[in-house]
Chains A and B, each alone.
Chain A
């Protein structure tokens, strides 16, 4: 074991952690406002990947630029799904909403499998093989750009929630729904918008990882599981908690990959998860009970 390998592991872990953070922020936002665990989040990420894939193969649009299409598209898909399948159940027991999102996830994934076959594909961008050397550590440019964009989007979302009227209304709903209604906030609209934003986060993350990740209708499952771990680790509903936990889980996975056989990679993050549940079930940012 040399320090070079470890540094390399840390670098690539942090970089993929940025993507995990973006995926998890969408999930934690939906949880915080709608009080729903969105099991369709992984499927929405894959929808984003497919949209970006087709924009690249048919129109030659760079995956990083495709977010200008992917984000609005996923926002609309998310908001519509919320209006059609989740809104009727907003007052039902919490677990019922879990199952409706599971159904939504199956539907979206298998729609992709049905329409474009369940084969794995990938794209080849011109800069796929360019690397950046920092001393002994080499970083693929794609990973770096993806990380930078994921962090940029996270910051943009934070500012949106902090500064705009809709953002303030979303945060009001997260804090106290009944009071938000009394203040004249149209909570139904806010719920749809929030779910749309969550879907857009997943879709954007899907487009960002496309340059270095293979594509298939069911690749969202691993990301979904990781996102769940990140969300719980960073305290459910906590924006910066999810961001920080995303980086930590990315780091943990990539360092674990050095020590363990690659098939056991998932064990690292799942073990972190169980340890968190053991010692700090409220997560990084939560109040210990």
Chain B
């Protein structure tokens, strides 16, 4: 058996075991562990959405929280003001996030903003959205919005965490399938060509504007779709938790840890990073600032020691013949 096939079958078995483990998890864990795993899966999902734009198309967005916020706010406002069921509201939320993504993407990609300019532009859009959300009285402004708890399927509100757990697990499986499909499609190949060398891709006749915009639309729509889950799981939304650049940065760190441009990178990254932050907060949270100081240290260590993320570094280690060049592709 050649080492490559060995690696492939090994990883497939690993994925299957992990999936079966996750599927059976609610049967033998308490609600605290379940909550932690729900948040891990939620952030893994967000990381995977971000990864479509950043990992494959190479466009690093530092404003992805606004799409999540747009999705959460749309479905919550529809539910509170018009009594629209979140099951319908989540699609409206997805579309509103997508329109926001279209707006940001159109403005930035039209002028060929790339690399650092794109990072800063998305950061600015994130900041301006937060300021606006904090000042619009109709959506609760600085008070936020509270969703009164009334358990029913139509309200997307359930007693206990099991339903939410399986729902987010279903979304994670969905995003894994979507990312696999993208990676294997012509579309995904073109995105990766854009990531590696935009000018070269353009000279080969690729309409890079259209492809980047398309990646942005998919990424923002899927991100916004999860906003409804967040709003109705937590039951409270506020601009400071949903539109903050801190959340955007948190989303980006997950694929960076796990491996950008790989299907399972964001999920693995979330399973590594989220428990680390949960543990540091648990042990060091009583000293103000200390756990975030350690958090900063961990970010620096991860970026310095495994700049391509765990999955890609491991692949690199096991599959010697296919090294990915580590170079400045975004300058």
Contact = CB atoms under 8 A, between A and B. Distances in A.
Nearest to B54: A95
A229 B303 contact: no
Interface stretch (B22-30, B200-208, B288-296): B288-296
B254 to A, nearest CB: 12
A277 B131 contact: no
B124 interface: yes
Of A37, A264, A289, chain B has the most CB atoms within 10 Å of the CB of A37
B187 interface: no
A96 B128 contact: no
Interface string A181-206: 00000000000000000000000000
Contacts of B303: 89, 96, 99-100, 103
B295 A85 contact: no
Contacts of B123: 225, 228
Interface in A146-170: none
Nearest to A270: B128
A274 B125 contact: yes
A117 interface: yes
B249 interface: yes
Contact of A93 (B128, B249, B252, B330): B330
B279 interface: no
B119 A264 contact: no
Residues of A contacting B: mostly: helix
B131 A263 contact: yes
A271 B124 CA distance: 9
Contacts of A118: 288-289
Interface in A93-121: 93-96, 98-100, 102-115, 117-118
B185 interface: no
Of A99, A107, A115, chain B has the most CB atoms within 10 Å of the CB of A99
Interface residues of A, number: 50
B83 interface: no
Contacts of B252: 99
Nearest to A279: B111
Nearest to A35: B331
Given A117-B288, A267-B132, A111 B119 contact: no
A53 interface: no
A140 interface: no
Interface stretch (B3-11, B173-181, B216-224, B321-329): B321-329
B295 A106 contact: yes
Contacts of B124: 225, 228-229, 270, 273-274, 277
A252 B249 CA distance: 28
A75 interface: no
Contact of A98 (B60, B112, B131, B295): B60
A50 B74 CA distance: 42
A261 B132 CA distance: 12
Interface in B272-331: 287-290, 292-293, 295-300, 303-304, 307, 326-331
A118 B292 CA distance: 12
Contact of B128 (A98, A102, A232, A271): A271
Given A112-B289, A267-B131, 5 more contacts: A93-B326, A113-B292, A263-B134, A267-B132, A281-B113
Interface of B: 54, 60, 107-108, 111-113, 115-117, 119-121, 123-125, 127-128, 131-132, 134-135, 249, 252-253, 256, 287-290, 292-293, 295-300, 303-304, 307, 326-331
A-B CB proximity, top 5 nearest: A113-B289, A106-B296, A103-B299, A107-B296, A114-B289
27 contacts: A35-B331, A85-B300, A85-B304, A94-B328, A95-B119, A95-B330, A96-B303, A99-B253, A103-B299, A103-B303, A105-B296, A106-B295, A106-B299, A107-B297, A110-B293, A111-B293, A114-B287, A114-B288, A114-B290, A114-B293, A115-B289, A225-B123, A264-B131, A264-B135, A267-B132, A273-B124, A277-B111
Interface of A: 31, 35, 37, 85, 88-89, 91-96, 98-100, 102-115, 117-118, 217, 225, 228-229, 232, 236, 261, 263-264, 266-267, 270-271, 273-274, 277-278, 281, 289
